[in-house]
Amino acid sequence: MTDRLTSEAAALDASHAATDRRDRFLLPDGVVYLDGNSLGALPRHVPDAVADVVTNQWGRDLVESWNTHGWWQAPAAVGDRVGRIVGAAPGQVVVGDSTSVRLHQSLHAAAALRPDRHVVLTDPDSFPTDLYVLAGVASQVGWAVEKVVPDKMAKRLATSDDVAAVLVSHVDYRTGRLWDLPAITAAAHDAGALVVWDLCHSAGAVPVGLDEHRVDLAVGCTYKFLNGGPGAPAYGYVAYRHQAAAPNVLAGWHGHAQPFAMERDYRPAPGIERMRTGTAPMLSLLALDAALDVFDDVEVASVRARSLSLTRFLRVCLEELVPDVDVVSPSKDERRGSQVAVRHEAAYGVVRAMAGRGVVGDFRTPDVVRLGVAAPYLTHADMLTAARAYADVLASGEHLDAGWSQRSTVT
């Protein structure tokens, strides 16, 4: 069986050779890294790019770098680069702050754009930050929060005209379920509601098509499939048609129409620049800018094709090598993001034992082994290695070792 799977992996890797970008990343030898949906790997050229920012721009040119090196324009310029990846024309994405801040801004903007409606829908299984931020904004604007599974939202939206906005994560962070962005967006619009999409687990892995599908607002982090680095700044998208009326509830001087006039009263800048707040974290922003070079010569649709082949093959390997494996990620390509999640009662021990064998995944409470597939730097041979590690850990009982009983704060 394993000889056949080895041959199949080699054939699949040969057929997808055009999208193999592993040589552009710094990865430890002997490690299969399946946690890129938590923290993307380091693009090989980023250290030199950051060293130039520190040594030459900051170190030599000092404050003049805001002008001579384009620091002031960077939040919108890098935003346009992210925009290309998520299907947004220039002038609709700005980078800076955290996903929580961007989500707070977007939800307040939605409330202002739909002032006579007082219900917001969201997925009960969304990432906790989304639920926390939404609860806070709802208390501030007077929304009632209704938790509805995304594939039932269209039915709920059709029942009344009280929904102001819908907040959905494009990909379920635990199971990897990919929700139907075009259909949910259309259903929200048919009901007169706005839609806010969280793209944290899809940007850079799944074609999004924000403009194509007339999404209203979107947010996302850049340290997962975009490989921006730990704590890399997040981004916010506001469609052109909403920008003039969308307020920035976190108004700061960088979002002012004339920031260096130092006026006492706030006047929002035109366009997406109004969604800027304070000074962006330039070192991490420019590290992200360099990291995005990885996508310069590859379309997200091609990355998606590679990802689907990798996750499909990983599932095949798990099902052939592990009796009664409980794969909870969707088997259908159109419903699956870029990960394969497996349920096991001792999931934490499984994840730690696999890491001991050089296969790095992660654990999600209460019982999910999450194997994230960052397609540019992974191969089908890696998928087979991961499945073998999973099978060997269970067969040996390593996951039950007492040494794995103390959970770390991260995984």
Residue 127 falls in the annotated catalytic set:
yes
CA distance 106 to 138: 12
Q: Which residue out of 33, 173, 223, 295 is catalytically annotated?
A: 223
Measure Cα distances from 94 to 22, 159, 161, 308 in Å: 29, 35, 31, 29
- In the structure encoding, which two tokens stand for residue 290, read together? 């360099």
Distances (CA, A) of 234 to 26, 52, 227, 335: 23, 23, 12, 25
φ and ψ at residue 369, rounded to 5 degrees: -90, 115
Report the distance separating Cα 336 and Cα 324, nearest Å: 21
Query: CA–CA separation, 55 vs 256, rounded Å?
Result: 30
Neighbours of 243 (CB within 10 A): 18
Residue 370 annotated to the active site: yes
224, 274, 276, 315: the catalytic one is: 224
Query: Phi then psi for 196, rounded to 5 degrees?
Result: -120, 120
Amino acid type, 33: Y
Out of 370, 382, 388, 390, which one is annotated catalytic? 370
Tell me which H or E stretch contains 220. Answer: strand 217-220
DSSP single-letter state for residue 205: T
Cis? peptide before 366, omega within 30° of 0: yes
Provide DSSP, 109-168.
Answer: HHHHHSTT--EEEE-TTS-HHHHHHHHHHHHHHTPEEEE--GGGHHHHHTT-S-EEEEEE
Burial, 24: exposed, middle or buried (Cβ in 10 Å; 0-12, 13-18, 19+)? middle
**Which of the residues 172, 198, 216, 362 is marked catalytic?**
198
224 catalytic residue (yes or no): yes
Q: Say if residues 357 and 389 touch (Cβ distance below 8 Å).
A: yes
3-state SS string for 23-70: HHEECCCCCEECCCCCCCCEECCHHHHHHHHHHHHHHHHHHHHHHHCC
For residue 350 the two structure tokens come to 């499984």
The catalytically annotated residue of 84, 125, 127, 162 is 127
How is residue 359 written in tokens? 């296969």
Active site residues: 127, 198, 223-224, 370
